Chains A and B, each alone.
Chain A
Amino acid sequence: AQTVTQSQPEMSVQEAETVTLSCTYDTSESDYYLFWYKQPPSRQMILVIRQEAYKQQNATENRFSVNFQKAAKSFSLKISDSQLGDAAMYFCAYRTAYTGTASKLTFGTGTRLQVTL
C-alpha cells in the first residue's frame, strides 16, 4: 500500500518570503500522480498543483512550484512571495495511474502553514 509522509506538522513564513513544505511517499509503482491541496480555515480543499510521475519537469503554478525527486520519492512544495492568503493546511496526496484503484487519493497528515507580517 502507498503511504504519504509530511514530517512538518507546522511551518511559519513571513509575508513575501519563500517557504518549502516537505512530502515523501512510498510506492512500488512507477506511474502515478502527486498533488498538493490547500485547505484554508473555511475548509474547502483547493488543488494547488499536480505532478505526473512520468514527467521529469517540475510543475509550476504562479508562485507555487514543486521539486519532484522520483528516485528519492520526494515531492516538496515551494511557495514564493508568500501572502497572508496562503495560510492554510497543506496536504500532499498520491494517486496511482493504474486503472481499478486509480480514483483513490492517499493523503499525508498535513502541514499547517502560518504567514506572519
Chain B
Amino acid sequence: KAGVTQTPRYLIKTRGQQVTLSCSPISGHRSVSWYQQTPGQGLQFLFEYFSETQRNKGNFPGRFSGRQFSNSRSEMNVSTLELGDSALYLCASSLGQDADTQYFGPGTRLTVL
C-alpha cells in the first residue's frame, strides 16, 4: 500500500504571494492532519480534516486554510506569505477513528524570500 504523498516537495515563494500544498493520504484513510515544523517552534498542529470537514484547528492565523476532497485528498493554502512561514509542512493520514495512529508524508519544504 502506497504511503502518504505530498506535492510539491520543495517550493520557493516571495512575501505576499500565496501557496497551495497538496497531500494524498494512504488508501482508505479518511483523516488528514497538517503540521508545521520549524527549528524555532518545533512541530505544531495546523488542522485536521475528516470526511471533507475541518474537525480540529490549531492556533494559526486565518491566512492558513485547508480543505479536503471527496477522495480524502487534502490541500492547504497559505495566503499573503510572510518570511516566518518558511517551514517544513507535514501531512499525516489516519483511518479516522479516534484511536488511530497518524502516518506522515515526506513533507513540503516552503521557503519564503
Contact = CB atoms under 8 A, between A and B. Distances in A.
A107 B43 contact: yes
B43 to A, nearest CB: 4
Interface residues of A, number: 26
Interface string A94-106: 0001111111111
Interface residues of B, number: 24
A65 B47 CA distance: 30
Contact of B104 (A44, A50, A102, A110): A44
A56 to B, nearest CB: 18
Interface stretch (A13-21, A35-43, A66-74, A80-88): A35-43
Interface of B: 31, 33, 35, 42-43, 45, 48, 50, 55-56, 58, 88, 90, 92, 94, 98-99, 101-107
A25 interface: no
Given A42-B106, A47-B103, A107 B98 contact: no
Given A103-B31, A103-B33, A109 B99 contact: no
A64 interface: no
Q: Chain A interface mostly helix, strand, loop or mixed?
A: loop
Q: Chain B interface mostly helix, strand, loop or mixed?
A: strand
23 contacts: A35-B101, A43-B88, A43-B106, A43-B107, A44-B106, A44-B107, A45-B90, A45-B92, A47-B101, A47-B103, A50-B101, A91-B43, A98-B98, A99-B98, A100-B56, A101-B56, A103-B48, A103-B102, A104-B33, A104-B45, A104-B48, A105-B33, A110-B42
Contacts of A107: 42-43
Interface of A: 33, 35, 37, 42-47, 50, 52, 91, 97-110
